[in-house]
Structure 1
Amino acid sequence: MLGTGIIFIILAGFTFFALKKLKPKPRKSFPPHWHKLLLEHVAFYKALTPEKQKRFHSKMMQFLSEVSIEGVQLQLEELDTILIAASAVIPVFGFDNWQYTNLSGVLLYPDNFNEDFDFSANKSNKVIAGMVGTGRLEKQMILSKKALYHGFSNTTDKNNTAIHEFVHLIDKMDGDTDGIPEYVLQHTYVIPWLSIIHKEMQAIHKRTSDIRSYGGTNQAEFFAVASEYFFENPKLMKRKHPELYKLLKTCFNPSN
């Protein structure tokens, strides 16, 4: 059996090699059979009008022409690509001509992983389901395939790891991942947004909120967790958190 250090070196080397191979692909037309797969797996897409579904197609293909996706110790499947692209499009669907200029590649791992990027079966601390890279992983995202599929298998649990990570990238567009998405949130809404963040985080800490507890970690995580909730179960958020729902709707403009 390989020692932990050797396993880490192998995984780190494989990750670095995979990152070097990530190159954007030429933009292609939307494969018609993807429509059925999106209807089956992506509730956000299913709720769109036929005209808006076509716009969703276009945004997916634009994303795939700009960002490469690579499987790490797994054979990348068609549905993997579809779900990752859909995750990227959902939070920016209301924006015209959006580009993730702070992302060049996505690495898909078979399972959750630890801080050493180790997803070995015998590891007990595999708690990371997704992350936006920094340092040598700058402009890269790592996602767990297990978490990716779980995010789309339950449309009412308010959790979607891939959307969570793409929201972090939206937050980061102004230079800081701080929970204040100034790149898309008009200046006049910043103070009300901060007020709501602090009120909702206090409720999380008091355990009187149905927003996932991880949202109480800091402002950046609150924005990402609340955004998962917004896109996964907007009707429930509108009923239980009307102020938060209104500001997130203003921020994302999903009905555009």
Structure 2
Amino acid sequence: MKASALGGPRPVLFHQALPSFSESEWAAAAGYDGVILDLQHGELGLETACMILRSLPRAGAYSYARVGSIDAGPILRLLDSGARGIIAPTVESREQTEALVAATKYLPVGNRSIGPSRPGLYIGDSYPDAGNLAVSTIAQIETRIGLERAEEIVSTPGLDSIYIGPADLAASYGLPAWGDWEDGPVRDAIVHLRELTTAHGVTLGIYSGQPAYTAALFADGLVDYAGLGIDLVLLNRSFQDTISALGSARSIGSDS
């Protein structure tokens, strides 16, 4: 997410790990601002992700994809299909960040190949310049090593945003692998990354599983956007809540 996109309500996106064309529509109808197609975890493959991107509104500023690695081939396919942001996981060095920028940006910023597969994907006098403005290059920091090298990552030319993976970050400190930390090293990392991203003019996002936690981060000005929930977890909660609400009623008369 680019700093130029800020100014209104902080965007909220959801992670989609299942190969469904309906989920992003239902999420948008519920009020989500966009989607992160998650190719790192779950069942979503490259071909389906590209088709889902083509089904989304072309002007959707927050049609993002999280890739499994910094591999220029899949990244190019996703961008040509309409992804407006690429999140690369487990970034731990400036070298990796530079490779991400090279894969996501056209010359002179990066080295992305020009081969538009959708008409009018980027509107502007210069197609490369318009594409570079439209696409957000996002490095995910989710390890202790990545955090220790955060300034060299954040200061990489062409980088637009940092995305925090709190569960993996916690695990790298020997803590339980969950998110929504109120204190400890993960909370300290959020504050530290907020300071660094502000100083270098890039945005900061985070994955969260709870709306109240996300709202508190927004209120404290610690993040600019959030990934709130992933379909696998949201479905699990819904299933559990539904069966729990039914309770013991289904056992009535079972012994007769």
> What is the TM-score when the length of structure 2 is the normalising length?
0.25
Structure with greater strand percent: 2
Larger Rg: 2
> What is the TM-score when the length of structure 1 is the normalising length?
0.25
